[in-house]
Structure 1
């Protein structure tokens, strides 16, 4: 995935979901539909192309990444729909999942997924938006197994959005950017819920996004909410509508510490992506 594209005179059009994206065909949980609709922009006109002068003003590592990710003429899309599959650690076991997600960097997300516990289906969603955040999961679609909301959940979800917004590179051009502590790093900032969320991104010499780390609000150890090291490793590349995105993600708490392996709880591969 290191070849370069010839710039096009016409902006690339959104691509349909691939047939292989099994998560796409599964309906959203009813409670997630209105949150999804509030963030989605179906039928919106294609926005103008990303402004080259905006890219030129970024710190060099951020410019290196986004110049590689966004071919000339890419629309300044602000929303993306994804399908993914992977593993999530629940307790001391890794469990396979499939999921659909809508991400609107700087605004919100809905992540609707399906897994199994003791052979029985568990479905639900996590979401964040102007009205706050919540998590709602049910066994067999009826028995509540986990629900959470409130200020701490909202602050933690804001940090998650700051991380996952990297899967919508056109929208990241309008984030706040500053130089990082090392030559291949830059800091991407979003104001979410009145709080600035800073994420340190690491870019390799060819412009591939490799790692993200931040101090994210959460309670990973059950000792109380606060800021804790969180991060994600990014690898592989996939091209959707001409845009290059990391295809493989690993994420967890205690990132960059001696407990990083124990803190990892999420592994996924992006199977489909559509911009809007």
Structure 2
């Protein structure tokens, strides 16, 4: 980690979270999110492995990372890079699309003036919180742009029962986030067998029920660590067996260790 490396992240709001960061060299180990990652490179160039290929986003270019896709990150030029990123809940995107499945965007890095404008608008008052109507408009705009850039494949509808079941599963996992949920519990809540539920849940939200729930616990851990709470206390409060258990999952989710996250988020200056 270089002295200039830093991250600034706000609290998630209505399915949306904002991040500003800069790095001088290595940024992230391989990891994956249960959300979309929609980013704008501000300066320099960032490179990352994604779907079997090394990609590079240069200043002014936009990145769209699909939920549950493995990726890493490092500087593509000696001077490093800075970027803004929106983490967008695919459930919010699906809702903005009247219940249609969240779209897949095959072009990971692009010159996309419309998406870039949406990102600039989202960060106009950062770190001040976005107003509720601004969040609604931003998610709607992102959903529309993601659809326009999607692969255009028509996906088979889930049916009313499956659609209702995945919503029930998601609500239950949110409510029970601090603990481990058993497959049998979700079967009772939704009326679907565990394998059908897992399939329909991924079609709707781009990730598995397990990764979704662990992601909610880790998001809470992320906030607690940034506030300076000891890792041993964070592990207990977020449902992990111990500090090493937390560290393993945290690194797989965010591409850096809890200790490095704490150091990066304590920086006072901007990117």
With the shorter chain as reference, the TM-score category is: under 0.3
Compute the TM-score of the two structures, normalised by the length of structure 2: 0.25
- Greater strand proportion: 1
